[in-house]
Structure 1
Amino acid sequence: MPTEHNNYCNGEWVASESGETFAVTNPAAETEVVGQLQYSTENDAKWAVEAAADAQQAWADTPGPERGQILRKAGSIASERKAELVETLVAEEGKTHSEASGEVQRSIDILFYYAEKARDHGGSIKPASSAGAEIRAKTEPVGVAGLITPWNYPSAIPAWKLAPALATGNTAVLKPASQAPLSAKKLVECLDEAGLPDGVVNFVTGSGSTIGGVLAAHEDIDAISFTGSASTGDVVYQDAAADQKRVQLEMGGKNPTVVMPSADLDEAVDIVGVGAFGTTGQSCTATSRAIVHEAVHDEFLDRMVEYAETLDIGPGRADPDMGPHVSESELEVTQEYVDVARAEGATLETGGETLDGGVHESGHFVEPTVFSDVVSEMRIAQEEVFGPVLSVIEVGDFEEAVAVANDTDYGLSASIVSEDAEEINTFVDQVESGVVKINEKTTGLELHVPFGGMKGSSNELYREQGDAGLEFYTTTKTVYANR
């Protein structure tokens, strides 16, 4: 019998008032139920918000080093439970064991990082114009944060929202994606075990429109941090704007890698391949477009097809090169885009087929897919495809490559593979992207530097991670003192 998992409100693990649950299944074997989660109501969400609001002032008054000590202890507990957390992530989201292990370690590192940041985040002193006077800028928590997180990084993204919020004295209500909520629950368990006071973090599962709607509209929520699709982000932003909540949005991407003639093609293929097919292409920073100079296009394409066809695809527990889609619906969307691309005139070079039989029998598996003869006007080159689908676009020169890279509504991550310093520097200056990489894949982020997108990938007001991650959760009070 699958374990039933409760919400976490005001320091207690409690069932929803609805009395209903929903099943979380293994993407590699849909008949395997990983757990039963609460199908929460608006009242459940409101109770969580009220608990967070009641706990906020006491948590804000808790000294920063003490808050950091709890985060540090939670990180240690997560480290001790790492094998369990990895297994949970593989089972509910489908990542390979190696990918899941890296993500869980990132979550642990984030807890430790912001534990130290909590020690010295309080403000600054500036010189005054008059002798004997003092001016200081005092940072204070925003208040109560509503955190809405996606399924594709179900451990790391909750960690990088929760940790800076808690470090700076905010309380939080966390609503994870229903496809993969257990990894976030495990993080909350670690915080609970570390001694987090009641009400400081609250965890509620269920319908995104129901729970997310309460968080966006509730008068006691002061800030909303959302990661997910652009369409849902737009709704969250509009709902939160009614009472001028602080809002942080991180949304989709259509990420390009430009490959120039000076590139080492073996390196370029590996960079693009890992970026496109790692995590089954289910990353907002995944490489979706390879924009390749005509001088190396044909050779690059041949090698890219060979790369895709050598990948081992299977259940994450076996640690293959690529795991399944998270759900049947996500797999269907990928297949729809394969059909759209072919109808538009793109050439299917390899992949695009659903896998079944053997280890693939009851999972959501698809072959890594490479299209050629793609032009920028096609939907396959414009719309986010959250799966292992790569469009190869041929260009005549560097200027065209940059123009094609920028010819999209998104601007999250972009990279260039080149040994030409002028090309590299110009690309960094001209590409419309919040993350720019040189001779690296578009995926993969450092936790101590800002992360966020441009254009339709973000509302561009606040960045996440590093010191920038603290700014969203704090406001500044300027104090003038005559002595």
Structure 2
Amino acid sequence: MNNALFNFKTPENEAVLGYLKNSPERISLEKELKAQSSMEIEIPLIIGGKEVFTGNTAEVRMPHNHKHVLAKYHIAGPKEIEMAIDAATKAQKLWSETDWTIRASILLKVAELLATTHRGILGAATMLGQSKNIYQSEIDAVCETIDFLKYNAYFAGKIYEFQPRSAFNQLNRIEFRALEGFIFTVSPFNFTSIASNLNMAPVMMGNTTVWKPATTALLSNYYLMKLFMEAGLPGGVINFVPSKGSVIGKQVMASKDLAGIHFTGSNATFNHLWQEASSHLPTYKSYPRLVGETGGKDFIFVHPSSKPWDVAVNAIRGAYEFQGQKCSAPSRMYVPKSL
């Protein structure tokens, strides 16, 4: 019997390491970069905690060196997609009834492993597979992923903590229930941290997912999935299903057990998912919840006290770092006439 209440301390953002020459983190990362770039791994599907090899494969190549093959990945077809839906649906009841502190403990274990033994692994995979530099990879694949995990666990506790008052002659309580069915998660190529968060946020609240990773981020996403499992995530809670978008989308959207979609990508794709969901409404067990982040527009607001050279340097860096392929890339500036 467990009647304790757990209060996690307020998280602090993960410190960004400098990777200076001859620093421990730089030596470790360079070693991992050399190891990952010198081998060609095989990436299976992971359904119900088990590796699945379909025989239908494609290659993961370095974006900055197209001749260099990093991995061969297996592609899910209708049979495997149905297996993933079934695995997620079957795992949902037990996982949703698992004590929230156990779910939170798994998230925090992932964060701990990523901050220590797996820092170089995920950082190197993001650099090689998504062409990010050391700094970009560190703030995304490592620090932001850790922050998402810690803050999700912390704020989940705050949500569960919120309860109505009870009187001496009555007891009032709110039960926060997971969605009935599975969540379809569609992650983008440009942020490893978003791939983690699209899955682990609903998982923290007792949901299970069928995950379609971006084929152009498969190396880091595969290492993420392995990290989740190493931290103790039960089989079936997250199902890793690389597949062609049109194939998996059509099958998932037609499933009566679809409970929600967690998406980051283009406006057009998210619009299509909304349209597909509306056409299948009569067949769903409940109304699916759709949450999506699509194309964003950032801007720079320049203060009159700013130095022109600093503004110019950071405007160019902000707009074109990682080729501008992120929502924080500015496309507009507001500059005072006095400058």
* TM-score calculated relative to the size of structure 1: 0.57
Provide the rounded CA distance (Å) in 1 between the counterparts of 2:225 and 2:137. Answer: 18
Q: What is the Cα-based RMSD across aligned positions, in Å?
A: 2.1
3-state SS of paired residue (1:280)? helix
Provide the rounded CA distance (Å) in 1 between the counterparts of 2:324 and 2:113. Answer: 31
Q: Which residue of 2 aligns with 1:283?
A: 326
Q: Which amino acid aligns with 1:67?
A: R
Match of 1:56 among 76, 83, 92: 92
Q: Which residue of 2 aligns with 1:104?
A: 141
Residue 68 of structure 2 is aligned to residue 28 of structure 1: no
Q: Which residue of 2 aligns with 1:78?
A: 114
Match of 2:249 among 199, 206, 212: 212
3-state SS of paired residue (1:95)? coil
Q: Which residue of 1 aligns with 2:292?
A: 249
Residues 262, 82 of structure 1: CA spacing in aligned structure 2 closer, same or farther, 3 A cutoff? closer
| Offset, 1:67 | 1.0
Match of 1:125 among 144, 147, 163: 163
Q: Which amino acid aligns with 1:34?
A: L
Match of 1:113 among 143, 148, 151: 151
3-state SS of paired residue (1:138)? coil
* Contact 1:122–1:140, Cα closer than 8 Å, also in 2: no
Provide the rounded CA distance (Å) in 2 between the counterparts of 1:156 and 1:235. Answer: 24
| Offset, 1:262 | 5.2
3-state SS of paired residue (1:122)? helix
Give the helix-richer structure, 1 or 2. 2
| Offset, 1:13 | 1.1
* TM-score calculated relative to the size of structure 2: 0.80
| Offset, 1:266 | 3.4
Residue 171 of structure 2 is aligned to residue 134 of structure 1: yes
Q: Which amino acid aligns with 2:294?
A: M
Bigger Rg, which one: 1
3-state SS of paired residue (1:284)? coil
Provide the rounded CA distance (Å) in 2 between the counterparts of 1:199 and 1:264. Answer: 54
Please list the CA deviations of residues 217-244 of structure 1 after superposition, one character each: whole Å capped at 9, or x if unmatched: 3221201011001111111121123323
Provide the rounded CA distance (Å) in 1 between the counterparts of 2:106 and 2:301. Answer: 44
Q: Which residue of 2 aligns with 1:231?
A: 268
| Offset, 1:293 | 4.6
Quote the sequence identity (%).
Answer: 29
Match of 1:176 among 213, 218, 221: 213
3-state SS of paired residue (1:253)? coil
| Offset, 1:208 | 1.3
Runs of 4+ in structure 1 off by over 6 angstroms are: none
- Equivalences for residues 89-100 of structure 1 within 5 A: 89-100=126-137
| Offset, 1:120 | 5.1
The answer to which of 29-38 and 78-87 deviates more is 78-87
Please list the CA deviations of residues 86-130 of structure 1 after superposition, one character each: whole Å capped at 9, or x if unmatched: 1111111101122112212221232233334454542533236x7
Provide the rounded CA distance (Å) in 1 between the counterparts of 2:317 and 2:253. Answer: 36
Provide the rounded CA distance (Å) in 2 between the counterparts of 1:161 and 1:274. Answer: 27
3-state SS of paired residue (2:262)? strand
- Equivalences for residues 349-368 of structure 1 within 5 A: none
* Contact 1:23–1:37, Cα closer than 8 Å, also in 2: yes
Q: Which amino acid aligns with 1:126?
A: P
Residues 121, 64 of structure 1: CA spacing in aligned structure 2 closer, same or farther, 3 A cutoff? farther
- Equivalences for residues 411-430 of structure 1 within 5 A: none
Q: How many corresponding residue pairs?
A: 292
Q: Which residue of 1 aligns with 2:78?
A: 42
Provide the rounded CA distance (Å) in 2 between the counterparts of 1:172 and 1:36. Answer: 24
* Contact 1:2–1:34, Cα closer than 8 Å, also in 2: yes
- Equivalences for residues 8-27 of structure 1 within 5 A: 8-16=46-54, 19-27=55-63
Please list the CA deviations of residues 434-471 of structure 1 after superposition, one character each: whole Å capped at 9, or x if unmatched: xxxxxxxxxxxxxxxxxxxxxxxxxxxxxxxxxxxxxx
Provide the rounded CA distance (Å) in 2 between the counterparts of 1:67 and 1:258. Answer: 41
Provide the rounded CA distance (Å) in 2 between the counterparts of 1:25 and 1:275. Answer: 26
The answer to which of 180-189 and 258-267 deviates more is 258-267
Please list the CA deviations of residues 30-88 of structure 1 after superposition, one character each: whole Å capped at 9, or x if unmatched: 10011111121122112111101000010011101111112222222223111111111
* Contact 1:227–1:249, Cα closer than 8 Å, also in 2: yes
Q: Which residue of 2 aligns with 1:466?
A: none
What 5-or-longer segments of structure 1 have no aligned partner? Answer: 297-483
| Offset, 1:279 | 2.0
Provide the rounded CA distance (Å) in 1 between the counterparts of 2:296 and 2:151. Answer: 27
3-state SS of paired residue (1:133)? coil
What 5-or-longer segments of structure 2 have no aligned partner? Answer: 1-38, 282-286
| Offset, 1:260 | 6.0
* Contact 1:123–1:137, Cα closer than 8 Å, also in 2: no
* Contact 2:300–2:333, Cα closer than 8 Å, also in 1: yes
3-state SS of paired residue (1:4)? strand
Q: Which residue of 1 aligns with 2:42?
A: 4
Provide the rounded CA distance (Å) in 2 between the counterparts of 1:107 and 1:127. Answer: 36
Please list the CA deviations of residues 225-274 of structure 1 after superposition, one character each: whole Å capped at 9, or x if unmatched: 11001111111121123323100111002333244655442343244223
3-state SS of paired residue (2:163)? strand
Residues 263, 217 of structure 1: CA spacing in aligned structure 2 closer, same or farther, 3 A cutoff? farther
* Contact 1:213–1:236, Cα closer than 8 Å, also in 2: no
Provide the rounded CA distance (Å) in 2 between the counterparts of 1:206 and 1:87. Answer: 24
